[in-house]
Amino acid sequence: AQSVTQPDIHITVSEGASLELRCNYSYGATPYLFWYVQSPGQGLQLLLKYFSGDTLVQGIKGFEAEFKRSQSSFNLRKPSVHWSDAAEYFCAVAPREYGNKLVFGAGTILRVKS
């Protein structure tokens, strides 16, 4: 069965510092890969997605993610974190044969200290 692991439940970074959120997936073939962000009381907003091609993908709000097939990973990065980035981040996968059924990781709560 597909699964997504986000090993860090909470991460705290200082404003202006760099950020990396980890995501590993387990699936027979390379699925579609996504990162979503959720602010308190809000729905999910897509930050970026990987379907194929260049393994470094750029997203909104200055985020990027790198797909590494050999490690089954899709880590999210940002070079300089802003206080407004404090939120919960979810990695998700969807099988290529049926892309609608998203399987989510448990989420990582990002705290930004000033």
By the rule CB under 8 A, 93 interacts with other proteins: no
Placement of tokens 């970026």 in the chain: 48
Q: Is 83 exposed, middle or buried (0-12, 13-18, 19+ CB in 10 A)?
A: exposed
Among 51, 55, 61, 84, binds other proteins (CB under 8 A): 51
Inter-residue contact 76 to 35 (CB < 8 Å): yes
Q: Which stretch binds other proteins (CB under 8 A): 11-19, 60-68, 70-78, 89-97?
A: 89-97
* Subset of residues 11 to 40 that bind other proteins, contact rule: CB under 8 A: 32, 36
In the complex, the smallest distance separating the C-beta of residue 16 from other proteins, rounded to whole angstroms, is: 30
Q: Tokens for 90, please give them.
A: 């979810």
Inter-residue contact 2 to 101 (CB < 8 Å): no
Q: Given the complex with other proteins, which of 50 and 85 has the nearer CB atom?
A: 50
Residues 6+ apart with CB under 8 A from 52: none
Total of chain residues touching other proteins, rule CB under 8 A:
24
Binding site for other proteins (CB under 8 A): 32, 36, 41-46, 49, 51, 90, 92, 94, 96, 98-107
